Structure 1
């Protein structure tokens, strides 16, 4: 019996292979056929996660990680995606400071989370990727956020996240904020080890957790 490859599988594979043209054609096809934008982003994220694994296994290079990020950003420019991330009102629920931690150049999950937080009424400050503990501390003091988001895809980022939280404790700012971690490799055990308030593998759930931490739901 012939194996059937689904559209979802094709999208993931195209991202994994960094085939930009194919990703865009498949993404447009998926949205035109009724796929939810967030479902499409989950597929893109899975492809990027595989790129990250290939990088960790030294089969891909930093340039490949950057290329995966560029593909993701191009998907976000599709009209259906812009509508998904369009803010519905001007009410501010809180302030988020977010960044991908030191040693990691991935920004896919971070950007999705940031976009959803903005749609849901959060002011956001994005520090970018490969952010050191010193830069986090400097900006926490400067911006006084309600929530700090630490993002990472690579398994090695667990130690980077812990270093940032430890630096926050040393600087005396840990108790002033809530900390949420984001990454598919995270577990309750790693969250406890790092010393964060919560973690998520899903951007939509992350928004709910942030609202809950601030008593907004």
Structure 2
């Protein structure tokens, strides 16, 4: 049973989506995250265990490799795709309450910025670690963030920006969130963002990579 879960983790780590997927070459012809997750459920392994001992283990390994520049965006996107494929089988168990989510994370690319690869990577990493992700998309205004936080009580929020010109929006949005919901925890990230900038605008956390954010979130609910 534990071998099956470690095989699922390996599929996530290396981005093996299903049996017919050609990537990665060293796993060609083998079952992927799709088949193995279904097999695990058929064998009576709980959805919670598949998530925590399979998907989350694989996503953590990818996150650490990405932080250390051992893998790059295309590989992480393949891992995310493998995870999404496995999650399709687990979704009914989330909806029924059998799988407990750690909390809710609201994310969006700030107003004026249409870049979404970084945001999508973070979303996938966070979801793969057992969180419910509410993705507001790109070009998201302050009031949209505020309304989402009011709708999802106690949610954490992440603001993404890739352009230096939209860092102004990040500051404006952070201030609007803090005024409306002072206790809300705001994370910021993106290529031009630094920890000094985070302090300047009054956000709570900055991470240069998705894994750092995941570790921060997990520590808040540990």
TM-score, normalising length: structure 1: 0.61
What is the DSSP-based 3-state SS (H/G/I as helix, E as strand, rest coil) of the residue aligned with 2:72? helix
Contact 1:104 1:153 in 2 (8 A): yes
Structure 1 residue aligned with 2:182: 174
Q: Which shows bigger deviation, 124-133 or 201-210?
A: 201-210
Contact 1:158 1:190 in 2 (8 A): no
2: CA distance, partners of 1:143 / 1:41: 36
2: CA distance, partners of 1:37 / 1:30: 15
Contact 1:37 1:84 in 2 (8 A): no
Residue ranges of structure 2 left out of the alignment (5+ in a row): 1-20, 28-60
- Residues 1:83 and 2:82 aligned together: yes
Contact 1:37 1:81 in 2 (8 A): no
1: CA distance, partners of 2:115 / 2:198: 19
Structure 2 residue aligned with 1:200: 207
Structure 2 residue aligned with 1:132: 141
1: CA distance, partners of 2:121 / 2:140: 18
Deviation at 1:184, TM superposition (A): 2.1
Deviation at 1:187, TM superposition (A): 1.2
- Residues 1:184 and 2:191 aligned together: yes
Once superposed, which parts of structure 1, at least 4 consecutive aligned residues long, lie more than 3 Å away?
A: 28-31, 36-45, 84-89
1: CA distance, partners of 2:193 / 2:133: 23
* Residues paired across the two proteins, number: 155
2: CA distance, partners of 1:130 / 1:91: 31
1:18-70 Cα offsets, whole Å, 9 max, x none, are xxxxxxxxxx9983268x9665996348xxxxxxxxxxxxxxxxxxxxxxxxx
Contact 2:160 2:190 in 1 (8 A): yes
Structure 2 residue aligned with 1:31: 24
Deviation at 1:122, TM superposition (A): 0.6
2: CA distance, partners of 1:102 / 1:211: 28
Residue ranges of structure 1 left out of the alignment (5+ in a row): 1-27, 46-71
2: CA distance, partners of 1:134 / 1:208: 28
What is the DSSP-based 3-state SS (H/G/I as helix, E as strand, rest coil) of the residue aligned with 1:189? helix
2: CA distance, partners of 1:130 / 1:148: 15
Structure 2 residue aligned with 1:150: 159
Distance 1:144 1:215, change over 3 A: closer
1:113-162 Cα offsets, whole Å, 9 max, x none, are 11111111111111000001111111111222420010111112221111
